[in-house]
Amino acid sequence: MIVPALLATESRRGRGNRLDLVDVVSGIVFVLHEGIRWRALPTVFGRWQSVYSRFYRWTKRGIIEGLFAGVATSLRKGTMCSLDASYIKVHQDANVAHPENEAMGVSRGGRTTKVHALTDSAGHAVKLELTGGNVADCTKAPGMIQPVRKGDTVLADKAYDVDALREAIAVLEAEACIPPKSNRRNPASFDKPTYTRRHAVENFFQRMKRCRRLGTRYEKTKLMFMSFVNLFATMDYFLH
């Protein structure tokens, strides 16, 4: 599905022989999984400049993001939505002068990026967001639950136990399954057997970080790194 969808966005450009789109996508996936530099891409996939420029073009035009959105909408499963976030270390080669503009957080441990994800019952991403590692999980939560539908159950850990999120879930006519913080005066109840299914989002992050390009951030720009995240999330629907 991925190659035909990308092929539909291509137009005839230039006079030379065009790369086979299967080779191009295979080369991009190879870089995603192995985490190598673009210049180190094996020649079996074609010229690295051509493979990179195609990926960059698709990213700038929002094609990769749109592909993920379409797949997530059509293949979403179940009524359980798991919400969480995960840190990713920023490699020294990805450092920029203004990290706050590229979703990089600065702390004593160095620079980090945080991927926020909402997954369906099967552990496939429904919505993704990127922030600096110093951004609290709960601050992005109201925007992350936009895909939640009436009757769904939202699973999240106690870091998301804030009134604003619970109210936003109630407005969507969904149910919150979030354990209360220990300092709550009037802690809300939650269903423990249902909460055990929150591991779906943790499994998504575990699969994602098997890709070396996502286990460590090598991309200087938020746009390019997020494109790799969207590409993996799209593939995950068909591979897992």
Distance of CA 75 to the CA centre of its chain: 16
How do the pLDDT tens digits run along the chain, 240 residues long? 677 777 777 765 555 455 678 899 999 999 999 999 999 999 999 999 999 999 999 999 999 999 999 999 999 999 999 999 999 999 999 989 999 999 999 887 789 999 999 999 999 999 999 999 999 999 999 999 999 999 999 999 999 999 999 999 999 999 999 999 988 888 888 999 999 999 999 999 999 999 999 999 999 999 999 999 999 999 999 998
Cα–Cα distance, 201 to 3 (Å, whole number) = 27
Q: Domain extents for the chain?
A: 2-61, 78-218
**CATH number of this structure's domain 78-218, picked from the four choices 3.30.420, 1.10.10, 3.40.50, 3.30.450:** 3.30.420
Cα–Cα distance, 231 to 54 (Å, whole number) = 14
Question: 168 vs 85, 115, 145, 163, CA distance in Å?
Answer: 19, 21, 8, 9
β-pair partners for 118: 83, 127
Q: Which residues contact 103 (CB under 8 A, 6 or more apart)?
A: 113, 114, 130, 131, 132, 222, 225, 226
Q: Which residues contact 157 (CB under 8 A, 6 or more apart)?
A: 84, 178, 179, 198
CB 163 within 8 A of CB 186: no
Residue 225: φ, ψ to 5°: -65, -40
Residue indicated by tokens 């009757």: 151
User: What is the distance between the terminal CA atoms of the chain, rounded to a whole angstrom?
Assistant: 15
